């Protein structure tokens, strides 16, 4: 059996301010860091072999806090971010190689980034609802296929997240690795749509609390055999 741990990042500064965040690289606030610390305590009886995050710092912070504050989760190893691709800005120094027996790989990927909210990013959600109408903003936020102005629909997010999950992440699961994924409400909804076999109509109503781990158990063929939420 292998296990998959999904966690939505802890509360960010813009979560607290009730702003649309999307791709803006907003950090965790004090509450969010505390939520990640609490998640680490809840994960004391689990361990992982590899971690995936989005490129956004709030997801990376949450993963690193969980892994460093729970020694058993990373089996006493140090989390090391692995940069994939050929970004010239790293000047080649992203090719760090250490001792694999002492390090747990953390792979950031744009495929796990939050849904892009376009023109809404940085706007207060309540003020936006007053301006455009609650029903319109609800459709922008919660429908599966309707896009906010200049942004992605949840369907768009699913189209970039699911292929990465079904290949890159599930390959580890099928090899028997335990995996931690630290990401966002909408990219995790896309993954759970696949795991829980949800319809497009059911996915938008899926609520994910910040900093709460969700555990999936798998058999040798990669089929889900169980699920629990560590509230």
Active site residue 9: yes
Q: How many domains does the chain have?
A: 1
Select which of 9, 38, 61, 152 is catalytic. Answer: 9
- How many residues in the chain? 231
Active site residue 114: yes
pLDDT at 96: 80
3-state secondary structure of 75: coil
- Tens of pLDDT along 74-106? 999 999 999 877 666 777 777 787 888 899 999
Q: Which residues contact 177 (CB under 8 A, 6 or more apart)?
A: 2, 48, 49, 50
Select which of 38, 61, 69, 114 is catalytic. Answer: 114
- What CATH number is attached to the domain comprising 121? 3.40.50.1240
Strands 50-53 and 179-183 come out as parallel
Burial grade of 67 (CB within 10 A; 0-12, 13-18, 19 or more): buried
Entry pTM: 0.95
Beta carbons within 10 angstroms of residue 123's beta carbon: 16
Domain extent at residue 82: 2-229
User: To the nearest whole percent, how much of the chain has pLDDT over 90?
Assistant: 88
């Amino acid at each position: 059996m292998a296990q998959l741990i999904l966690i939505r990042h802890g509360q960010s500064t813009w979560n607290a301010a009730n702003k649309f965040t999307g791709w803006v690289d907003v950090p965790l606030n004090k509450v969010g860091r505390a939520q990640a610390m609490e998640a680490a305590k809840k994960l004391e009886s689990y361990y992982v072999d590899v971690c995936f995050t989005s490129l956004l710092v709030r997801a990376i912070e949450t993963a690193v806090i969980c892994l460093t504050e729970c020694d058993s989760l990373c089996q006493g190893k140090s989390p090391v971010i692995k940069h994939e691709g050929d970004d010239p800005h790293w000047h080649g120094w992203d090719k760090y190689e250490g001792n694999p027996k002492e390090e747990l790989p953390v792979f950031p990927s744009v495929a796990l980034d939050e849904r892009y909210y376009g023109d809404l990013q940085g706007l207060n959600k309540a003020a936006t609802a007053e301006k455009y109408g609650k029903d319109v903003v609800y459709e922008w936020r919660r429908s599966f296929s309707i896009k906010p102005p200049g942004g992605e629909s949840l369907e768009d997010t699913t189209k970039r997240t699911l292929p990465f999950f079904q290949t890159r992440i599930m390959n580890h699961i099928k090899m028997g690795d335990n995996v931690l994924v630290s990401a966002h409400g909408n990219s995790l909804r896309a993954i759970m749509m696949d795991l829980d076999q949800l319809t497009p109509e059911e996915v938008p109503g899926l609520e994910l609390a910040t900093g709460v781990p969700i555990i999936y158990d798998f058999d040798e063929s990669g089929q889900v055999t169980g699920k629990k939420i560590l509230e």
